[in-house]
Amino acid sequence: MEDCIFCKIIAGEIPSYTVYEDDVVKAFLDISQNTPGHTLVIPKKHVKDIFEYDEDLAAEVFKRIPKIARAIKASNPDIKGMNVMNNNGEVAYQSVFHSHWHLLPRYSSDDEFKINFTDHSNDYASEDYEAVRQSIAAQFKD
């Protein structure tokens, strides 16, 4: 895609700190480095977000993520864990509209990277869960 910064990185028009590349994906350091080693994994095929993946591309991209994650973890003995994230849509904080997976090494619980999951379970009755379940389940077609 002509104006896509990640497509330009794939094409070599913009430099990157590439840690892994094959015929399906490119993995490179995120320029923001939320934590040291923060890496992006992108499919070489331009897809905007998770909703544009077909099953084959999803399988091909995701099967490479554990290998890249293991290499990141092995690169630094201080890494204690990792967040693997994929943001889809502006409201979900996607800022580059070429699908990408964030691999964020975690060093400690106070390494300045935070995710806030607020428990709203007391706000929902069983009927509410059932209505949501039915709405989602109805979208699957055999």
Mind telling me the catalytic residues?
100
Q: Copy the structure tokens of residue 90.
A: 């502006």
Distance between terminal CA atoms of the chain? 33
Q: Please spell the DSSP secondary structure of 10-33, one letter per residue.
A: HTTSS---EEEE-SSEEEEE-TT-
CB 47 within 8 A of CB 98: yes
For residues 107 and 138, what is the distance between their CA atoms, to the nearest angstrom?
Answer: 41
